Amino acid sequence: MSLKVVHYINQFFAQIGGEEKADYPPEYREGAVGPGLALNTAFKGEAEIVGTVICGDSYFNENLDTAKATVLKMISDAKPDVVICGPAFNAGRYGVACGTVAAAVKDELKLPVVTGMYEENPGADMFKNKVYIIATKNNAAGMRQAAPKMAALAIKLGKGEKIGASAEEGYMPNGLRVNFFEAERGSTRAVKMLLAKLADKPFTTEFPMPSFDRVAPNPAVADISKMKVALVTSGGTVPKGNPDHIESSSASKFGKYSIAGVEDLTAENSETAHGGYDPVYANEDSDRVLPVDALRKMEKEGKIGSLHEFYYTTVGNGTAVASAKKYGAAIAQDLLDAGVQAAILTST
């Protein structure tokens, strides 16, 4: 008898819509939907998706408690043997949702569960030590590689079989260490790795080190009183109404907005889109996050040369590192093209 699987996906992979449908509330459908078809094929008859739970990314992250409770009930009512979430690839809000659902399934429903996402997805850092996360490519083009790995691990979990090391099963290292016997002694393996490295051949380290970006600081500003200064923020300050719909978490974009002739940010002309802090004081006076009023005063007093007519904004809350680097590079190029000589970066 095949294992019963319930699959959790977002509105995009359910083919309901993109960002304009990210507020889609939880829905349960019988059978497989979207990527579930690839998973069913990968199960090779050992398991079958009996139901799919769909929820919009914004709806889930902005209504976390109620959305999670609703999703868990839908899953529980289907009485599955195992649950699969995603894969989310590099979609930040989707990754956080998949990780949250997976952790709740494991902790509250006491069911085996597996999810999948790109290693730089914010959900990976948040949940890789809590649930099994299959490492995927950064976009849906990696579905063909992800589905068999997720299916194989789900079947093992559903059958209660022993789970091998992360290198064997394809899940992200979760901090657990297990003793086992290797065919070759450590010194022999180390010499083989060294020889491969010296010969510029591929090898896999047994002790991967974290990779940290190191950015060399620019020289100190010589005379800011003669420089054009710009404001950049990850605090989510946007014009009233958030015209570009920058997300409250795991932002998929940044905004560029004019402050030409603006002396002060007020509750009438600005607000914050950020979902990671209490917005009351920022909405009351957005200068608390993006100090336009202070820079205008310094401009009049001759303490800075001029304030750039545009500011740049996004939300840092849960945003993938790869996305943040992409936004930073685009903003920096735009500043250079505009002749900006210094930038002030504000957060929350």
The residue assigned the tokens 């900006």 is 340
**71-85, 152-166, 209-223, 324-338: the lowest-pLDDT one:** 209-223
Q: What pLDDT sits at residue 40?
A: 97
Nearest to 86 by CA among 66, 101, 68: 101
How would residue 30 be classed by pLDDT, with cut points 50, 70 and 90?
Answer: very high
Radius of gyration of the CA atoms of the chain, in A? 24
Q: pLDDT tens digit string along 288-299?
A: 999 999 999 999
Report the C-alpha dihedral over residues 39, 41, 46, 49, rounded to 10 degrees.
50
**Element at 256 (helix H, strand E):** strand 255-258
The two three-digit tokens of residue 2, written as one number: 């095949």
Q: What pLDDT sits at residue 213?
A: 75
The stretches of 78-131 forming alpha helices (DSSP H) are 92-104, 122-127
Tell me what the pLDDT averaged over the chain comes to.
93
What residues does each domain of the chain span? 3-169, 224-346
pTM of the model: 0.68
Q: pLDDT tens digit string along 158-186?
A: 999 999 888 788 899 887 777 777 889 99
Q: pLDDT tens digit string along 276-287?
A: 888 999 999 999
Q: What pLDDT sits at residue 99?
A: 96
Higher pLDDT: 106 or 122? It is: 106
Beta bridge partners, 135, equal 117
The residue assigned the tokens 């990314």 is 57
Mean pLDDT score, 259-271: 96
pLDDT at residue 153 above 80? Answer: yes
Contact 339, 113 (CB under 8 A): no
Mean pLDDT score, 145-152: 96
Q: What percent of the chain lies above the pLDDT cut of 70?
A: 99
End-to-end CA distance of the chain: 54
Class of domain 3-169: alpha beta
Calculate the alpha carbon distances from 44 to 28, 53, 109, 155, 294 in Å.
24, 22, 26, 10, 64
**DSSP one-letter string for 128-180:** TTTSEEEEE-SSGGGHHHHHHHHHHHHHHHHHTPPP--HHHH-BPP-S-----
pLDDT at residue 149 above 90? Answer: yes
Indicate the SS3 state at residue 292. Answer: helix
Nearest to 252 by CA among 312, 322, 311, 310: 322
Q: What pLDDT sits at residue 256?
A: 98
Q: What pLDDT sits at residue 323?
A: 82
